Structure formats: C-alpha cells, structure tokens
Amino acid sequence: MSEGSCLRFETTAVHGDKGYDPLTGAISFPIYQSSTFRHGGLNESTGYDYSRLLNPTSEEVENTVAKLEEAKYGIGFSTGLAAIDAVLRLFKPGDHILISDDLYGGTFRLFREIYSVYGIKHSFIDTTDLDEIVRNINENTKAIFIETPSNPMMKVTDIKAAAEIAKLNNLIVIVDNTFLTPYFQKPLNLGADIVVHSGTKFLGGHNDTLAGFVVTNSDAIKEKIIYYKKATGAVLSPFDSWLILRGIKTLHIRMDKSQDNAIKIAEFLRVHPKVEEVFYVGLPESKGYVISKKQSSGFGAMISFKVKDKADVAEILKNVKVITFAESLGGVETLITYPQTQTHSEVPQEIKDRLGVTDKLLRLSVGIENIEDLIQDLKKALG
C-alpha cells in the first residue's frame, strides 16, 4: 500500500503491507508454498530465488510487522528464540551483555547455557534500576537486553532512560516486546535499536503457530540478521507467515478485549482472601504503573499472582475448567501456567527465589472470553 505510512495502526493491521496480492488481486495474501522460483535466464530473477532467502508470503508478514513497529525492517524466524539467537550472533567472544534478571526461561537458557560456552559474557541485573545498569557497564559491555514487562514478575523498565544510558556508553538496546506488541508499545521510538517478538504469542493470537521477529531501523543490523537467517536456516515458513498475517488483522481488537478482561481479573484477585499478591502493571499500586503510563498506550493481558498457601496451587490448576492449564500465552483462550516447573524450570532456584518466582506463583495469559465466565471459573478453582 503506497500510502501505508500514513495509515493508522488498526488499518495497517487489517490490510498488511501491500494490502492485497498485486499479481492476482487476492485480498487474503496467498500462501506461496514453494521452496524455489523459476529464473527467466542467466542473471535474471523475480527477486525470489529460494524460500530460505525470501518468500513472498514471509516478506509480506515481515514488512507488516515492521510497519506496525514504525520501523524500516522486519525479519521473520521460525520461533521467538530463533529470533533472539540471531540477535546474539551480532556479538563476539569477550563481549558483555546486560540482561533483565526477570525474563522468559528460554531466553535465560540461551544466554546462560548456550552462548556463554562461546565466550559471550552476561550479567543478569534489575534493569528497572537505572543506577544498577550504570554500575554494571564495563569496557566490554556492548548491549542491554530488556524484557518489559518482564516474565513472570511484570517488572517495567524505563526504555527511554535505559536507551539514554546506552547511547552515552555506545551500547545497543534490545527490547523483547512480546507482551505488549507494537499496539501498546513501540520501543524503537523510545530509543531501542532492536525489537524482538515471539510472534507465536499475541501477534498470531490463536495458539496455532510458531514465529519470531527481529525489527530494526539499522541498515547494518538488518544486513547481518538477514545473513544469519540465511546461514542458519531458522526461517518462517510460508504457511506460518500466513497464519501470523491472519492473526495480526485482529491484533488491536484482541489486545483491547484481553486487557479489559485482565484489569477486571486483577481487581478480583487483589481482594481474594487466598491471594497474597497480584502482579499486573495496570494496577495503580504496581511499581511499573507510572512508567507504563508514560511509555506504553496499554497494560496488556499478562497477570501473575501469588497464593498464600502452596497447597492451593495444585487445586487451582486441577479445578479450572474455562481457563486452561497450559504453557505459552497470547492466544484468544485464557491460559494459566506454573512458572516454577514450566516456563522457568531451568532457572536456578536461588535466582527464582530472589525474583519472587516461588512455588506459590501462578501466571495468567488472559484471553477474550466472557469476563463473568472467567471470574466464576477462578472463584470455583480458588474455593
């Protein structure tokens, strides 16, 4: 769509980058389920040679995600972790990266168990504390990796302030924007250099596909990331690209509805006698509330809560009926997860204890069901 840069978020989400297939006029962008493409002759190409390098369907979703983030470039990957893996290949042995201490267990594993073997150094710090960021920068520090809101404790880092510190020290800022999506938060506009997404989650929105994205305005970073994708082959397939395109069409509607439900559920949980504490950035008493209001247009649909009695955990997970006990997040269905043994199982217990990821913590990804049904389900499960 030639006028795409002038369109508002909702319109771009519905229509995508091109708006339709220019070849056929198809409104639903086609699935170009082809691994290779015909050449007209020597040194002649349609621009598509091999789908590991570029595919029309994958290109459409990459450009759509870039537009939603108000960025120049989007690069698709087979999963969110594959996207983060490509970003980490920007660094060399001896480089040091500061990382939000509270973050998805898979990202933790990638830093601690995989890239540390190859000499990429890291420090897990509280990136919500700007002084702690400054204290941990050394001569080898090259980047700050921020997850905000964090998983699962919903800690909020001031992206703009962190980016200002980074620029003074010649560091790049990487932000995982999975929880809020570009509908509620645009980290590049706040000074970040790279945004990563697990497209599996809210972008896809239906728990039916896997995807990841790297988004940037940097020509140099884009070229390197595309090369890493070409070399390693962790590409986003045409069919999965189409599923993400389909999901994005309703992203804004789903995010608004899920957030409305999340606010009501958080308010219900905060006064329940069996609940010790609720972690949701949309509650005014949340430590991240003020910063969220400043840097984001919404609070999202992720809630964690701590019960007073550990025995209630098993009862809740067994007794929910409308809410589903399952890993992952970001779909239309409300899911409940036990970070202790699921998403954060490989994080050392002493780190989990320090962060508050205890055996009494549960995490909710709030969906778009009827709110009364969800609250009634929680009431019965909590007993």
Convert the pLDDT of each residue in 261-284 to its tens digit: 999 999 999 999 999 999 999 999
DSSP of 149-218: S-TTT-----HHHHHHHHHHTT-EEEEE-TTTHHHH--GGGGT-SEEEEETTTTTT-SSS---EEEEES-
Contact 84, 107 (CB under 8 A): yes
Dihedral class, residue 25 (left if φ above 0, else alpha if ψ from -120 to 50, else beta): left
Q: Which of 18, 21, 52, 289 is catalytic?
A: 52
pLDDT at 42 over 80: yes
Number of domains in the chain: 2
Amino acid, single-letter form, for residue 44:
E
How far is the C-alpha of 140 from the C-alpha of 121, rounded, in Å? Answer: 9
Last residue of a domain, one of 197, 213, 248: 248
Instruction: Please check whether residues 143 and 266 belong to one and the same domain.
Output: no
Residues in contact with 56: Cβ distance below 8 Å, sequence separation at least 6, in sequence order? 30, 32, 48, 238
Q: Which of 89, 155, 201, 363 is catalytic?
A: 201
Residue 176 falls in the annotated catalytic set: yes
Instruction: Please check whether residues 289 and 177 belong to one and the same domain.
Output: no
Neighbours of 265 (CB within 10 A): 23
Instruction: Please check whether residues 108 and 237 belong to one and the same domain.
Output: yes
Question: How far, CA to CA in Å, does 73 sit from each of 34, 64, 153, 182?
Answer: 23, 10, 30, 14
- Once rounded to an integer, what is the mean pLDDT over residues 347-358? 84
How far is the C-alpha of 333 from the C-alpha of 327, rounded, in Å? Answer: 12
* CATH number of the domain residue 297 falls in: 3.90.1150.10
Termini Cα distance of the chain: 53
Last residue of a domain, one of 189, 219, 248: 248
Instruction: Please check whether residues 266 and 179 belong to one and the same domain.
Output: no
Residue 118 falls in the annotated catalytic set: no
Range of the domain at 306: 251-382
pLDDT at 340 over 90: no
Instruction: Please check whether residues 238 and 184 belong to one and the same domain.
Output: yes
Contact 303, 278 (CB under 8 A): yes
Q: What is the pLDDT of residue 350?
A: 82
Instruction: Please check whether residues 170 and 52 belong to one and the same domain.
Output: yes
Q: Which of 176, 193, 240, 377 is catalytic?
A: 176
- Once rounded to an integer, what is the mean pLDDT over residues 331-359? 87
Q: What is the pLDDT of residue 109?
A: 93
- Once rounded to an integer, what is the mean pLDDT over residues 67-81? 98
Instruction: Please check whether residues 46 and 150 belong to one and the same domain.
Output: yes
Instruction: Please check whether residues 184 and 330 belong to one and the same domain.
Output: no
- Once rounded to an integer, what is the mean pLDDT over residues 183-208? 98
How far is the C-alpha of 383 from the C-alpha of 290, rounded, in Å? Answer: 34
Q: What is the pLDDT of residue 38?
A: 96
Residues in contact with 36: Cβ distance below 8 Å, sequence separation at least 6, in sequence order? 49, 50, 51
Instruction: Please check whether residues 241 and 330 belong to one and the same domain.
Output: no
Instruction: Please check whether residues 244 and 300 belong to one and the same domain.
Output: no
* CATH number of the domain residue 179 falls in: 3.40.640.10
Instruction: Please check whether residues 155 and 238 belong to one and the same domain.
Output: yes
Instruction: Please check whether residues 278 and 300 belong to one and the same domain.
Output: yes
pLDDT at 2 over 50: no
Q: Which of 104, 115, 183, 338 is catalytic?
A: 104
Last residue of a domain, one of 209, 227, 248: 248
Residue 201 falls in the annotated catalytic set: yes
- Once rounded to an integer, what is the mean pLDDT over residues 90-114? 95
Provide the mean pLDDT of the chain: 96
